[in-house]
């Protein structure tokens, strides 16, 4: 006998590179035209490991001030990382945003679970109002812990009021999905909005497959 698979009761979205196309290179290719220098800067100065500290709650201004003396001549570039934050975002990932909006309109609870500096959230929502549609959000910068640490998933479970088996979690990073899967979430690796719509519809959720004509994320975009 086939096991009955119930429709998820809620949907959990990552934000960066699921709903918005984020990559610091979008800003820094304007500031550092030389590709080799830019790669060095984003690998050794404003690196993803450095940014992850702000994701976990370190104030952005303090992080920039602490880093700048170590790299004379790059003070302005370091300050721009968060000072010109919105320029690190190319725009919405249209197919995924349409899924979020459709689920919300249908009354399906929607949540955000994202590694995101807390102080940048309101600025980003002001630029991309669909990020204000969530019934609740769990941000690493507000909780002091980020994915793939299971503690932030536990916060989401408690706040949402649903068991992990009742939720589908969408993320673009395998390591983040691995933790969610171990906890019992139904997981989807995000590739593009059209596939997302199709896969959620197959789970019984009220979305409809739509062609995606939006942005193509920059190759090698970080989480």
Q: Which residues pair with 139 in a beta bridge?
A: 114
**Separation between Cα atoms, residue 112 and residue 110, nearest integer Å:** 7
Tokens encoding 27: 């800003």
Q: What pLDDT score does 35 carry?
A: 98
- Residue 148 has a CB neighbour count (10 Å cut-off) of 18
pLDDT in tens, the chain (223 residues): 445 568 999 999 999 999 999 999 999 999 999 999 999 999 999 999 999 999 999 999 999 999 999 999 999 999 999 999 999 999 999 899 999 999 999 999 999 999 999 999 999 999 999 999 999 999 999 999 999 999 999 999 999 999 999 999 999 999 999 999 999 999 999 998 889 999 999 999 999 754 444 444 555 555 4
**Separation between Cα atoms, residue 127 and residue 123, nearest integer Å:** 7
Residue 114, burial from CB neighbour count under 10 angstroms (0-12, 13-18, 19+): buried
Q: What pLDDT score does 208 carry?
A: 74
**Separation between Cα atoms, residue 217 and residue 156, nearest integer Å:** 27
Tokens encoding 192: 């593009």
Q: What pLDDT score does 209 carry?
A: 54
CA distances from 150 to 18, 80, 129, 138, 193 (A): 20, 32, 29, 13, 26
Q: What pLDDT score does 5 carry?
A: 64
Q: What pLDDT score does 223 carry?
A: 46
Q: Among candidates 132, 133, 101, which has minimal Cα distance to 208? A: 101
Name the E strands within the chain. Answer: 10-13, 20-22, 89-92, 110-114, 136-139, 167-171, 186-189
Q: What pLDDT score does 6 carry?
A: 84
Q: What pLDDT score does 63 carry?
A: 98
**Separation between Cα atoms, residue 87 and residue 17, nearest integer Å:** 14
pTM: 0.90
């Amino acid at each position: 006998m086939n096991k009955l698979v119930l429709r998820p009761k809620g949907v959990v979205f990552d934000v960066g590179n699921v709903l918005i196309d984020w990559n610091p290179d979008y800003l820094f290719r304007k500031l550092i035209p030389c590709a080799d220098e830019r790669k060095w800067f984003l690998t050794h100065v404003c690196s993803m490991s450095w940014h992850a500290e702000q994701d976990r709650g370190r104030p952005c201004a303090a992080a920039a001030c602490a880093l700048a003396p170590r790299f004379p001549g790059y003070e302005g570039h370091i300050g721009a990382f968060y000072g010109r934050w919105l320029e690190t975002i190319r725009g919405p990932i249209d197919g995924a945003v349409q899924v979020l909006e459709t689920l919300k309109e249908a009354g399906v609870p929607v949540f955000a679970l994202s590694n995101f500096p807390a102080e940048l959230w309101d600025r980003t929502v002001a630029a991309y109002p669909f990020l204000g549609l969530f019934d609740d959000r769990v941000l690493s910068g507000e909780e002091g812990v980020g994915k793939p640490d299971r503690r932030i998933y536990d916060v989401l479970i408690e706040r949402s009021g649903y068991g992990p088996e009742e939720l589908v979690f969408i993320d673009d990073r395998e390591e983040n999905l691995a933790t969610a899967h171990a906890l019992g979430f139904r997981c989807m690796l995000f590739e593009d909005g059209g596939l997302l719509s199709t896969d959620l519809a197959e789970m019984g959720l009220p979305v409809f497959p739509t062609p995606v004509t939006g942005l193509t994320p920059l190759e090698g975009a970080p989480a």
